[in-house]
Amino acid sequence: MDNQIRSFMRVIRKLDNADDLIQSFPEWEKSTSSRDEGSSTLAVQDQRRVLDFPDPDTQAANIAKSSTLSKEDLLKRAAETPAQLSATEVSLLKSRYWLEISSDEEHEVTLAHGLISGPHRVSEEEFNEAGKRLEAVRHPLYAENEEKAIENAVAEHWRRENEAWRARQKQEAERSILAKAVPWVRRLWDEEKGEKYWGYDIFVDPEAFADGEDVEDYMCRRDAVFFHGRGAIGAGSSAINNMWRLQRLQWPANVTADDNAKDEEKDGEDDGREKEDTEQKAYDERAAKFHKLREYFKSIRDQAPKRQRQEQETNTANTQVERGGLTDGILQNVFVVVDKASADSVVSGSGLVDDMWVWAVEPDYDESKETLAPAVTAEGSTSKESARSYRGYMRVRLQQLVNKFYEARRFHENEYPMSKLWEAAQQSKHHAFVSTKDDEARSWSVDRFVGSAMRAQPPRVMLGPKPVGSSGTGV
């Protein structure tokens, strides 16, 4: 309680002595608790001391300076419709009728609280408990609507502060985006204005990492890749950057452990057929695993939102169109999977961002329409996926999750379905999607921060001969 009292403006301005108030407080507390609500035996001046209000003449003058309303009407407005308060009215009530509080006085208040610094440090729990005791003593001393008016003024002050902060963020983002963002980022900003998340849902195989240290290593590297990627495409401003999300979904219990160890090269003693059979088995097991993840993802995604389920009970014509169970704004036509093979590409590979990749799975893939079209093999690729057809999932270059791949799934789903993105990926190293444009798809950079097809610069390495004809106009 000592710190609460030392922070009173009456004490800061030396109208009252803190030690005297601290000594008197237990008696005031006992007096208040023994009386019925709405009555008090405290002297009028003692009530003002407890409430930390200015003396009557100062209070009346400050109200007149800050509002055209009477005190009673001002309190009524603040209690009922705080959004209608003027800035000066909010400041007056928030500060308990004090005006012209200097920065030095604000600093003294902060020191007196003892939460951050100062000679009388207390824990947040102790401070809050003392605050509850103080409010219990103050409660019967307030005029009609006064307690609620002050509470609302404080809340309204912070609401307006947050609103102004968001507006400044948007202005900063607008300047940044107009200056250097790629076109799809500008479109994302125009549509969402930084008010919705953007990103993916992600599953992490329980067998992808040996221990927590491996997880931390992967997360640090992955987040750095995304950070540099967002900066390269002009999405690094806080208003957009802060809305990027990878929403982790729980790995379902009915999905078997990671089988990627079977993907590794066999010893030379194995004959070709055994090796091929082993690879095919691993391929089929992965497809089966992703099938189960697909079904689980759809069971979450296709749940009706809680509000929709409630409205359907009373009015089926008043339902919401968005899908439920997933964070609003996160892509719902694809999800990401991290297994041991993809994790190793980040933590155990070359360290170059263009060698890092992740699995992307199409949740609405129809297995009954699988095709056997042969894939295009890129020169220098070591992946065995190229010899097989699209089965509802693909590799994506990790950094392209925040660029070309996101653009394709967000804005060009009909023009470039996942099957076409998979075809484009067969031109790329590791068969991990880079771009639908031929020259970009075949690019590979020796860079640990920003990879290929991430900004307006020529690729430094091209895989294979340049195809005859147009390089494409895709994403």
Q: Count other Cβ atoms within 10 Å, centred on residue 253.
A: 6
pLDDT of 179-234, one tens digit each?
788 999 999 988 988 889 999 999 999 999 999 999 999 999 999 999 999 999 98
Work out the pLDDT band at 311, boundaries 50, 70, 90.
very low
Q: What is the pTM of this model?
A: 0.65
In a domain, residue 139? The reply is yes
In a domain, residue 375? The reply is yes
pLDDT of 402-436, one tens digit each?
999 999 999 999 999 999 999 999 999 999 999 99
Q: Count other Cβ atoms within 10 Å, centred on residue 435.
A: 28
- Count of domains in the chain? 2
- Range in 109-123, 259-273, 277-291 with the lowest mean pLDDT: 259-273
Judgement on whether residues 300 and 378 belong to the same structural domain of the protein: yes
Judgement on whether residues 291 and 394 belong to the same structural domain of the protein: yes
CA distances from 448 to 50, 233, 346, 350, 451 (A): 62, 16, 11, 9, 7
In a domain, residue 193? The reply is no
Q: Give the mean model confidence (pLDDT) for residues 461-471.
A: 47
Supply the mean pLDDT for the chain.
85
Quote the tokens at residue 229.
């990627």
Return the SS3 of 12: helix
Judgement on whether residues 281 and 386 belong to the same structural domain of the protein: yes
pLDDT of 327-356, one tens digit each?
889 999 999 999 999 999 999 989 999 999
CA separation for the pair 282, 285 (Å, rounded): 5
Judgement on whether residues 143 and 45 belong to the same structural domain of the protein: yes
pLDDT of residue 451: 93
CB of 427 within 8 A of CB of 465?
no
Closest CA to 206 of 244, 262, 247, 254: 254
| Segments forming the whole domain that contains residue 303 | 198-441
In a domain, residue 191? The reply is no
Quote the tokens at residue 188.
């994302």
In a domain, residue 215? The reply is yes
Alpha helices in 198-339 (DSSP H): 212-232, 238-241, 272-301, 306-314
- Range in 43-52, 159-168, 300-309, 384-393 with the lowest mean pLDDT: 300-309
pLDDT of residue 114: 83
Identify which of 36-45, 94-103, 375-384 has the greatest average pLDDT.
94-103
End-to-end, the C-alpha distance of the chain in Å comes to 63
pLDDT of residue 309: 42
